[in-house]
């Protein structure tokens, strides 16, 4: 995937070219069909963190077809672009009928955002609910965070069962 292919042609700070925002948009049938859109970062002169939390992320086990559930937390420090939130919601929702292991889903989302946005820093925490009695948590980070930016903890408690 080429980053330039995903950047909206003709986007400006005041009127980005967005095809999904402001109208009815069907849920893409797969992550490959989903279109992540971007907006020019309105504060390119400042370091700040953007956080998206998806506490009801769903995908399918590629072997059994059973649903898998996760709490995703995506943090990034933008450069020139930020991801448009409706397109991100539709992209994440497109995984609901997608069969892939926890590791594949979590890292694929991170790599897609990394390619699209070229952020100064990005991390994703995939806190997966137990299947077969074992939760699998998957974490991805592009490197050390920039100095002088406040990055809060992700705030998701580890799974403790009923004890």
Rounded CA separation 102/135 (Å): 10
Tokens of 73: 């937390």
Is 133 a member of any domain? yes
> Domain range for residue 58?
3-7+29-141
The yes-or-no verdict on residue 62 having pLDDT over 60 is yes
Condensed to tens digits (0 to 9), the pLDDT of residues 82-102 reads 999 999 999 999 999 999 999
**Range of lowest pLDDT (7-16, 32-41, 128-137, 148-157):** 7-16
Is 146 a member of any domain? no
Helix (H, G, I), strand (E, B) or coil at 12: coil
The yes-or-no verdict on residue 7 having pLDDT over 90 is no
Is 154 a member of any domain? no
Helix (H, G, I), strand (E, B) or coil at 89: helix
- What is this structure's pTM? 0.86
Rounded CA separation 129/106 (Å): 13
Q: Which of the four pLDDT bands, split at 50, 70 and 90, describes residue 6?
A: very low
Is 120 a member of any domain? yes
- The 8-class DSSP code of residue 18 comes to -
Is 48 a member of any domain? yes
Residues tagged active-site: 61, 68
Helix (H, G, I), strand (E, B) or coil at 2: coil
Angle of helix 85-93 relative to helix 102-117, nearest 10 degrees, comes to 150
Q: Look at residues 3, 87, 27, 16 and name the one whose alpha carbon lies nearest to residue 52.
A: 87
Identify the CATH number of the domain in which residue 59 sits.
3.30.1130.10
Q: How far is CA 147 from CA 41, 77, 78, in A?
A: 19, 11, 14
Neighbours of 130 (CB within 10 A): 12
Domain count for the chain:
1
Is 96 a member of any domain? yes
Is 137 a member of any domain? yes
Is 106 a member of any domain? yes
Rounded CA separation 87/6 (Å): 12
């Amino acid at each position: 995937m080429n980053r330039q292919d995903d950047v909206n042609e003709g986007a400006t700070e005041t009127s980005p070219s967005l095809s999904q925002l402001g109208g009815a948009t069907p849920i893409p049938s797969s992550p490959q069909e989903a279109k992540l859109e971007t907006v020019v970062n309105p504060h390119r002169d400042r370091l700040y963190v953007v956080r998206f939390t998806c506490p009801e992320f769903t995908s399918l086990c590629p072997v059994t077809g059973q649903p898998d559930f996760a709490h995703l937390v995506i943090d990034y420090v933008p450069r020139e672009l930020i991801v448009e939130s409706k397109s991100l919601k539709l992209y994440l929702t497109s995984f609901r009928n997608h069969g892939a292991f926890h590791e594949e889903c979590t890292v694929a989302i991170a790599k897609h955002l990394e390619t699209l946005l070229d952020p100064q820093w990005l991390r994703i925490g995939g806190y997966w609910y137990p299947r077969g009695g074992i939760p699998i948590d998957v974490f991805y980070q592009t490197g050390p965070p920039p100095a002088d930016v406040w990055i809060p903890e992700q705030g998701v408690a580890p799974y403790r069962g009923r004890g």
